[in-house]
Structure 1
Amino acid sequence: MGSWPAAEVAPEIDRLVLGVNQAVDDTRLYEAAGDRVVDWISLSQIGDFMVAGVLTDEIATLRARYRPRDVVLGRLHELEQQGLVERHGLALAATEELRPLIETLMDARADAAATLWRGHEDDVYQASRTAQELGALASDDHVVAAVHRTLPAPEDPFLRLHSRLVTLRYLRQHDHAEAWLAHGLTASEIGVMTGLWNGEDVVSGEALAQLVARGLASDDSPALTDAGQRMRSEIEADTNERSQVMFSALGENETAEFLAVLRRLPG
């Protein structure tokens, strides 16, 4: 399986979660919204936290750590002003007006997952069970994942697997952030660095200028320098090493079977 099972499992989790998200019937969501302007992207990201009444400013900003903090908090304030969420101490909860929209989104997601995974019920059950076990192995400093894993498990088995895989994505998101923060990078800088690392076109701006000033990128034809390539590779290796902790606790055989089950599921 290689030195880092975490590195092999991560893209399979991404493939399955994003595959379900992309298969959601948008028409169904628009019909549920009616004449209201609904930010379905935000609801898809934090709706489950709001339905459970456990969304805090910390969770929202960490969940969207690559967006400016003031933008994220501003959106939450707008939802409050619209009467769609209400505060209970530090936590935000969906109101009776917003809850049906989130539930519609969850139902559409469950149907999308069922369409992809129906006929693979045994694999869905096994993957869900292992994902739950993995999620429980992570430390509580993985704030978003630690809260997400305590949310009520969806009754629908296909949606339950999706939810537990999302928890694992939150775990890796935290590990990745810890890795790039250790190199003194900002969210904007790692976003540009990763784009260049993947051979994507990036827009010149402050983040690129900062990378250039540190000798990590060139700006005439934006690209990572040798030093930038080394740093981004180190960040990826560090991310995998941090993520590997829970897989090591799970055990080699069960990790290998988990990977095999994920690979069998359509995405």
Structure 2
Amino acid sequence: MNSVGLAPHRIAGLLAPAVDRVFRAGMLAGRDGGGAVLAQKYGGMAATGFLVDLRTRLAAPGGSVDGPGFAAITRYQDPVSCRRALDKQVAYGMLHRGADGTLSASERGAAFLSELYQVHADVTEELWAGHDERVTRMVTALGRLLSYALVLADEEADHPGSAFTAMAPPYEPDGTPSGVLLLNRLGTLRYHRADAHAAAWAAAGHTAASVAALPAGPERTAIELETDRRAAGLYAALGAEERLTLLADLAALPG
């Protein structure tokens, strides 16, 4: 086994597209498997959009996302458009927004999120049927990664504007099915890499807009490599063989 290829910075780069693929497959299945109908029940995407994005924090009793955290989560979106969308969701009675910009779910919003968790339970059970052992193994590995990432974040003096710390840990009430655990832990892991990517392009003198327009080439490659380096720390929580197993398990999941 080539342990060099499993170094933390290497596995960070290899896992990113695999994590994206599986997460997006789960979310797409949720939308097509009842999520869109559920959203219409509560007023459509205009009423529920950010609740879906922030579900793993706002579903928690007392869960909230502060202003800097929300800005980090939506760093590639137009701030004016985000504010208008939030205005609508507050007006629909789905979200509460504090004077300082902190967001939380209303009672109606919490009811929507409870039903959304059930939709995701149903669709992931079907999507990943026959992969129970693999899903359970990944849930365990991802739990260790996220726990270690939180420890690393807590060791920093300050981490304002972090999407990961805004969204971690994901809300996992007792009895949450393995498919939902996997989906939401993958989603939270993506925020960890998103922060690493933002730090990498900011260090290279870019903004969210300029890096989005950056063409393929040496500069983009350098930013991606720096992203891998910055995202690598949490993978010390897994041994080299465990990292390879996680990559193989993700590759084997349909979607």
> Which TM class, normalised by the smaller chain length?
0.7 to 0.9
Question: Cα deviation per residue 1:110-148 (whole Å; 9 max; x = unaligned)?
Answer: 222111212111111110111111112223238322343
Tell me the equivalent position of 1:17. Answer: 23
Asked if 1:37 is matched to 2:44, the reply is yes
Tell me the equivalent position of 2:196. Answer: 175
Question: Cα deviation per residue 1:204-261 (whole Å; 9 max; x = unaligned)?
Answer: xxxxxxxxxxxxxxxxxxxxxxxxx211110011011111222134231221222122
Q: Which amino acid aligns with 1:116?
A: L
Q: SS of 1:14's equivalent?
A: helix
Which of 159, 163, 179 is matched with 2:180 structurally? 159
C-alpha contact (below 8 Å) 1:61/1:72 kept by paired residues: no
C-alpha contact (below 8 Å) 2:124/2:180 kept by paired residues: yes
CA separation of 1:265/1:27 partners in 2, compared to 1, >3 Å: closer, same or farther? closer
**Over alpha carbons, which structure has the higher Rg?**
1
Tell me the equivalent position of 2:86. Answer: 76
C-alpha contact (below 8 Å) 1:114/1:158 kept by paired residues: yes
Gaps of 5+ in 2: 154-158
Q: Which amino acid aligns with 2:185?
A: R
Tell me the equivalent position of 2:56. Answer: 48
C-alpha contact (below 8 Å) 2:33/2:123 kept by paired residues: no
The count of corresponding residues between Structure 1 and Structure 2 is 234
Deviation at 1:89, TM superposition (A): 7.3
Cα distance in 2 for partners of 1:66, 1:84 equals 23
Q: Which amino acid aligns with 1:149?
A: A
Q: Which amino acid aligns with 2:209?
A: S
Cα distance in 1 for partners of 2:24, 2:36 equals 20
Which of 248, 252, 265 is matched with 2:240 structurally? 252
Cα distance in 2 for partners of 1:35, 1:13 equals 30
Cα distance in 1 for partners of 2:200, 2:181 equals 29
Q: Which amino acid aligns with 1:20?
A: G
Tell me the equivalent position of 2:228. Answer: 240
Tell me the equivalent position of 1:264. Answer: 252
C-alpha contact (below 8 Å) 1:110/1:159 kept by paired residues: yes
Asked if 1:185 is matched to 2:191, the reply is no
Query: Does 156-165 or 66-75 show the bigger shift?
Result: 66-75
Cα distance in 1 for partners of 2:83, 2:146 equals 27
C-alpha contact (below 8 Å) 1:6/1:247 kept by paired residues: yes
- For residues 81-160 of structure 1, what are the structure 2 equivalents within 5 Å? 81-87=91-97, 91-138=102-149, 139-140=152-153, 141=159, 143-154=162-173, 155-160=176-181
Asked if 1:65 is matched to 2:84, the reply is no
Q: Which amino acid aligns with 1:15?
A: R
C-alpha contact (below 8 Å) 2:33/2:119 kept by paired residues: no
CA separation of 1:239/1:27 partners in 2, compared to 1, >3 Å: closer, same or farther? closer
Q: SS of 1:55's equivalent?
A: coil
Cα distance in 2 for partners of 1:243, 1:51 equals 27
Cα distance in 2 for partners of 1:159, 1:35 equals 22
Report the TM-score, using the length of structure 2 for normalisation. Answer: 0.82
For the aligned residues, what is the CA RMSD?
A: 2.3
Gaps of 5+ in 1: 198-228
C-alpha contact (below 8 Å) 1:175/1:242 kept by paired residues: yes
Cα distance in 2 for partners of 1:54, 1:243 equals 25
Q: Which amino acid aligns with 1:261?
A: D
Deviation at 1:25, TM superposition (A): 4.5
Q: Which amino acid aligns with 2:87?
A: H
Question: Cα deviation per residue 1:60-89 (whole Å; 9 max; x = unaligned)?
Answer: 211111012233233223322332222467
Cα distance in 2 for partners of 1:103, 1:234 equals 42
Q: SS of 2:103's equivalent?
A: strand
Cα distance in 2 for partners of 1:31, 1:249 equals 40
Q: What fraction of aligned residue pairs are identical, expressed as a percent?
A: 26
Greater relative contact order (Cα 8 A, min sep 6): structure 1 or 2? 2
Q: SS of 2:44's equivalent?
A: coil
CA separation of 1:118/1:234 partners in 2, compared to 1, >3 Å: closer, same or farther? same
